[in-house]
Amino acid sequence: MSIHQVTDCLFNDLAQVKYDVCVFASGYEARCTFIPKKLEAGNIATSIVIGFKDLADTEPRKIHDDYFKNHWKSEPEIASSGNDFVVQSLLNEIVAKGGATKRILVDCSSMSRLWYSGILNWARFGNGVDETTIDFVYALGKYEDKNSPMIIEDMVSIPGCEGGALQSQQSLAIFGLGFNGWASLSVLERLEADDVFAFIASPGASPDYPERVRVLNKDFLEEPRVKHHVLELPLRSIETCYRFLSELVTPHRFKDSITLVPMGPKPQILASILVSMRFPEVSCMRVSAKRARPEKVEPNGEVVAVRVVVRKEPAKK
């Protein structure tokens, strides 16, 4: 089992930890620099910055790129949100130069899920050391009240989270709901699972968050196959979310095909990816989407942090 330990921690405690590598993302959202600004560059041996390929010419993005160049001496390495190879290559480069990679900090506040799942896969299969400690940090954000509808572009399994060979057994889908009710419904129609569980972040980033999610997902929650009791998992505890989801899938392993579809906030996406990596029969889907205009997400000042200890998967002889 490669996901050995998942433990919540306090960001204030992490600020003083010495890291071998720190991975940041430069994007459109203001919160991509919120956590880096709170870190001491002297505590970090090597920093990696990955820049989103999209919206690279926008003013906020240029400001963020400049910040990383000036303060972290790192030119963002451009990658599309669907490319996990860039981050893995950069980590391999550090190893090739003799750098240490035992302790890594990842700011996933405004990072593609494929990048942080790529880091986890790299620790599972690529890192030279047997055990990697990765601290994931996430700056909570303030979302606009009105969201433009999300138009789905593609639905693929997250690499390393493919699940098992599918057969005609019963299928179970577990949806993490966010502000895109119609998109969740659209995915549900395609997945056509026998049983559907839904979970939401509660308590969420703000007190009104759970109710907003319920309202925006009213049609989804009224679908007959969706279990009526919606799981409420705290946004601020990835450990709790991971544990609950693990308990939820455990009785269904080996007999049902299980698919996680996290469409809510990132801490819950991370928890879903970790569950899928822990149980190879469980797949985790990534629903990529576009919006008419990018969302402006400002940090609300809070940071969620979790420590994940990853053990390298032995290669089969």
Residues that bind other proteins (CB under 8 A): 82-85, 88-89, 92, 121-122, 124-127, 149-160, 162-168, 170-171, 180, 182-183, 185-186, 189-194, 219, 224-225, 257, 259, 280-281, 283, 285-286, 289, 292, 313, 315-316
- Smallest separation (angstroms) from other proteins to the CB of 298: 25
Strand segments, DSSP code E, in 58-150 are 77-79, 103-107, 131-142
| Residue 4 Cα distances to 130, 131, 169, angstroms | 11, 9, 29
Residue 91 structure tokens: 């980590």
CB 98 within 8 A of CB 106: no
Please state the closest distance from residue 86 (CB atom) to other proteins, in A: 10
Burial class (CB in 10 A: 0-12, 13-18, 19+), 35: buried
Of the pair 163, 176, the CB lying nearest other proteins is at: 163
Q: Which is nearer to other proteins, 91 or 306 (CB)?
A: 91
Number of H helices, E strands in the chain: 9, 13
Shortest distance (Å) from residue 192 CB to other proteins: 5
**Closer by beta carbon to other proteins, 140 or else 216:** 216
State the nearest-atom distance from the C-beta of 62 to other proteins, in Å: 28
Contacts with 196 (C-beta within 8 Å, 6 or more apart), sequence order: 172, 173, 174, 175, 188, 223, 225, 226, 227
Rounded least distance, CB 5 to other proteins, Å: 20
**Which one, 119 or 235, has the nearer CB to other proteins?**
119
Nearer to other proteins, 109 or 257 (CB): 257
**Are the C-beta atoms of 267 and 113 separated by less than 8 Å?**
no
Q: Which C-beta is closer to other proteins: that of 13 or that of 192?
A: 192
H or E stretch covering 189: helix 181-191
Residue-wise over 144-154: b if at least 16 C-beta within 10 A, else e? eeeeeebeeee
Instruction: Name the minimum Å distance from CB 209 to other proteins.
Output: 21
